[in-house]
Structure 1
């Protein structure tokens, strides 16, 4: 089975928030753009609009596909050429921890925003 990652956004919301016409194409710049959008959009709009939604479910295949893309973007191979899992190696384990911290930072940011809305 093959899957791909789809990115959907409303160009007019990005434009109206003054975030520019071009979305960065480099990995870190791309995600920083959406983190910035997450801070700006709620201030520009009365509704609860989120700039980013990432699947984080054990039941959704999207979660695995996204995580594989993140591993790839970080040049992290967790399986060697012989098909052996490499997560027990300290350097790989540490990089996985860093990636998971980065990945979950988006949901933590959303939770902080939600708590501010609830008051």
Structure 2
């Protein structure tokens, strides 16, 4: 049986010295300035990402100006707008033909509730699309 060794106490092999810099550690880039860990061809570099904040006219940070917020807002706005427009067209068509909007309910009450729901959906759709 051998002696038990701790994980951190193992001896690691030394790396051979760098062919250009020899055995001394390199603190600066070859031009004399401190080099960046990411080069222009590095896959980890993201040149399109900015750290700047978007401010409105009052100097306050804008909300909902990024691409991650605009996608769901556009989708929700379009869904609400299409639903509201479709419900409004359907209600108008049913009322013009003299048919009930909902069975077993007063024609005036059902047309009113359906029209209010359609206008609310259109308003929500417009609000979502203005938040983009």
Provide TM-score, normalisation by structure 2. Answer: 0.29
Provide TM-score, normalisation by structure 1. Answer: 0.31
Query: Higher RCO, 1 or 2 (CA under 8 Å, sep at least 6)?
Result: 2
Larger Rg belongs to:
2
